[in-house]
Structure 1
Amino acid sequence: MDRRPDALGQQRRRARFHVRAASRGVGRGAAARRPGIAGTVMNTMAATIVAPWTATLTEAQYLLTQYFLVLAGLALFAGFVRTWMTQGEVGARYRSAVVARLSVMGVAFLSYVYMLINLRLGYDLTVSGYVPNELAINAMVPRFMEWSLTVPLLSVELLTVCTLVGTAARRTRIAAMGGGFLMIFTGFLGAVVIGGGTSLTALLVCGSLCAVFWIFTMSVLIRQVRRSLPQLTVESADLLRSATIVLLSGWFMYPVMFMIPMLGSGGAWTTAMQIGYSVADIFVKVIFCGLVHRVAKLRTAEDVRSGLDVHPEAIWISSIKQSDAGLPREVFLDDASTVHHRRPRPPLSSAVAAAPTKMPGYTET
């Protein structure tokens, strides 16, 4: 009997069996090699990034960084001088805004001077470019120390020209200052302290906490500004709204710069961070503070016109006279003393020279 057809069938069945076994083996190998959710999380936890102050800069990148650091420092110094020279234009009710503005300008200017010094000392010029040394970190990290003071002070400056008074004003200032400080401190932990600026996990976790405090601080400021707008004049409300938009828009730039190490590394990214931070500082500290100063001057003029406050000189804004000098109508002494009414000043045409006053014991020779 011819059994060749049966042998051929068996060979075909064995071939199909081997193909199925091989396909199952490949499937099991692929499944074994395919990472699960836990593996992905572990890979993310173990991932590292490059600290921006460790990148080598080209000559163009170094010069651009130096240019914007000098530009921001000079703008802050000019703002400090202007604030110092014009602090008498604001009434006592809004003097806290002037003090906060002076502090912001002074602290930020000193911070930029320190970063410029370390930019010069922290990079060594070689054939391959400007190579960072152990001092290069001080060309960027002092920003966090400066922001820890200036961000709460900027919040105080904005809240001072709002209509909050008494206990509510104090509580709101404390909340805004605390939120602003924690926003910067958590960002500093993730970007610098934990892992030396190379831990992606620290950057993500601390960045998320920073975002929470960032949203909290902005919500506090926005809520108080919105409550104040209906109680102000149209001009004051418009200026206060513009100042708030400038401040919050500038604060949006900082998270973008904070996330750059997660996008890439190298001299170009480091230069972009330095330029972005410098421009944001000019935008927030110089332009915003200038708008708040105008709001304080305008509200001072409104208080003088309504008789709520006095001011020793006329108030001008953009060459437009907002109010005359407001002098007190009465001089109040101690409770046991009499109130003396102010006497009108005699005309200069009837003024006569006073007799010379002689000192006791003086004799003419």
Structure 2
Amino acid sequence: MLPTALAGAEFTATSTYSSTQYSLVLYSFVVAAFALFATGVYGAKTTAEIGKAYRPAAIASTLICWVATLAYVALILEWVLGFNASADGSTFTPAPGTVVTELRYTDWSVTVPLLTVELLAVAALTRSQAFRLRTIAVPAAFLMIATGYLGVVQGEDSHQGTTAALWVWGAVSTAFFIVLYVIAWRAYRATKDRVSAETRISYRNALVLLLSVFGAYPLAYLVPAWAGASNAGWATTEQLVFSFADIAAKAGFGLLIHKVAKLRTAEDALAAGGGTETHRAVTVPDTLPSEVWVSGTLLSVPPVAASAVALDGTTAASGPAAAHRS
């Protein structure tokens, strides 16, 4: 039978909420939708600043943000249309057939595999290494979500019986998470000594963020087993955690990976143009953008009369050049 604390836990977010709880969850949905949409627009507008070798990361990031935006639009509609207010507006009760958390899993089933594509697209891997890791990572990411979904759904059904299904599917999902952790570590290990210190730090930070946020999702519905939170209170916390974890894992991680892609593009341009530690390359292959800006700093520049542009913004032939955006 279910432990007392777990029997009171709400996995699908279809509790009866106070007006404050209801408003907080709706607020988190709208903020997440706006943040993800804005990040998707940024990614789409700056894809051309990234070398062709790393553009799959930018494309995956944009797709992730826009798929997630659509999912949040669906969540907002379900939240607004699927709950009925009491006569005095103090409580909101779900209508029959209302689903909330289930909608999130449809989003994650698409976006989490794309996160692994994004992660590996900027790693310093050989073609065979990238293909092998991607072949393992994408199915593992999907199965991590699919088995977690089975645990949530069957755990909810088990209010009449045992929690075995919840724990079994949760353990299987965790096994796939460990697979992803190992793949991420291998990608970082292969990359760290082949890129600049700044690129290595940005890539490491992206990995730490992603893997840390992944840990928030299972905790959001496992804690009630020990904490004994009330239905509405825990369901509210769960949805707030999910919303802001989505912003971090999709928008935040995407921006960090986008920076890594730009830095690697600039490094490739420098190497291809014969640049040095003092001068940035100005003649680059067509596969690389002619200008790469990171945090307002110009890291590679288009062809000019001189053969190189100094990092302090001067050229031997053409005099001062802008090294920073105004």
TM-score category of the 2 structures, normalised to the smaller one: 0.7 to 0.9
Shift of 1:220: 1.1
Q: Distance in 2 between matches of 1:242 and 1:77?
A: 23
Matched, 1:257 2:227: no
Q: How far 1:193 sits from its partner (Å)?
A: 4.7
Mapping of residues 1-365 of structure 1, within 5 Å: 43=1, 48=7, 50-52=9-11, 53-127=13-87, 129-137=91-99, 139-193=100-154, 196=157, 198=159, 200-262=163-225, 263-307=228-272, 309-310=285-286, 311-325=288-302
Q: Which amino acid aligns with 2:51?
A: G
| Structure 2 contact 17–93 (Cα < 8 Å) conserved | yes
- Once residues 69 and 146 of structure 1 are traced to their aligned partners in structure 2, the CA distance between those partners, rounded to angstroms, is 14
CA distance in 2, matches of 1:191, 1:171: 31
Shift of 1:44: 5.2
- Per-residue CA deviation, residues 221-259 of structure 1 (Å, 9 max, x unaligned), is 112212210111111111111111111111111111131
Q: CA deviation at 1:305?
A: 1.2
Q: Larger relative CO (CA 8 A, sep 6+): 1 or 2?
A: 2
User: Shift of residue 194 of structure 1?
Assistant: 6.0
Conserved 8 A contact 1:45-1:201: no
Classify 1:253/1:197 alpha carbon distance in 2 versus 1 (closer, same or farther; 3 Å).
farther
If the length of structure 2 is used for normalisation, what is the TM-score? 0.82
**Kept after mapping to 2: 8 A contact 1:260/1:269:** no
Percentage of identical aligned residues: 35
Q: Is the 8 A contact 1:314 1:324 kept in 2?
A: yes
Kindly state the Cα deviation for residue 312 of structure 1 after the two structures are TM-superposed.
Answer: 4.2
The count of residues paired between Structure 1 and Structure 2 equals 284
SS at match of 2:17: coil
Mapped partners of 1:61, 1:136: distance in 2: 17
Separation (CA, whole Å) in 2 of partners of 1:98 and 1:204: 36
If each structure's helix is expressed as a fraction of its own residues, which one has the higher value? 1
Deviates more, 1:254-263 or 1:65-74: 254-263
Please say if residues 58 and 129 of structure 1, whose CA atoms lie closer than 8 Å, have aligned partners that are also in contact.
Answer: yes
User: Judging changes above 3 Å, is the alpha-carbon distance between structure 1 residues 134 and 257 closer, same or farther for their aligned structure 2 residues?
Assistant: same
4+ runs deviating over 6 angstroms: none
Residues 192-239 of structure 1: CA deviation (Å, up to 9, x unaligned): 256547462221111111111111111111122122101111111111
Kept in 2, the 8 Å contact 1:50–1:197? The answer is no
Q: Give yes or no for contact 1:77–1:106 (8 Å, CA) kept in 2.
A: yes
Output the amino acid matched with 1:303. D
| Structure 1 Cα separation of the partners of residues 289 and 168 of structure 2 | 53
For residues 108 and 213 of structure 2, the distance between their equivalents in structure 1, rounded to whole angstroms, comes to 13
Structure 1 residue 178, shift from structure 2 partner: 1.3
Q: Which amino acid aligns with 2:256?
A: L
Gaps of at least 5 residues in structure 2 are: 274-284, 305-326
Aligned amino acid, residue 252 of structure 1? G
Which residue matches 2:318?
none
Letter in 1 for 2:112: V
2:44 alignment partner, SS class: helix
**Cα separation, 1, equivalents of 2:158 and 2:189:** 38
Query: What per-residue deviation string (whole Å, max 9, x for no partner) do you get for residues 298-356 of structure 1?
Result: 111111111184434311111211111269xxxxxxxxxxxxxxxxxxxxxxxxxxxxx
Task: Give me the whole-angstrom Cα distance separating, in 1, the residues matched to 2:195 and 2:204.
Answer: 11
* 3-state DSSP of counterpart to 1:322: strand
What is the identity, as a one-letter code, of the residue corresponding to 2:266?
A
Q: Tell me the distance in 2 between the aligned counterparts of 1:142 and 1:96.
A: 26
Cα offset, 1:265, TM superposition: 3.8
Long gaps (5+) in structure 1: 1-42, 328-365
Query: Which letter does structure 1 place at the counterpart of 2:204?
Result: R
TM-score after normalising by structure 1: 0.73
Q: Can you list the C-alpha shifts for 1:91-131, whole angstroms capped at 9, x where unaligned?
A: 10101101111110111000000010000111100156101
Q: CA RMSD in A?
A: 2.1
> Which 10-residue stretch deviates more, 312-321 or 113-122?
312-321
1:54 Cα deviation from its structure 2 partner:
3.2
Q: Contact 1:118 / 1:135 at 8 angstroms: preserved in 2?
A: no
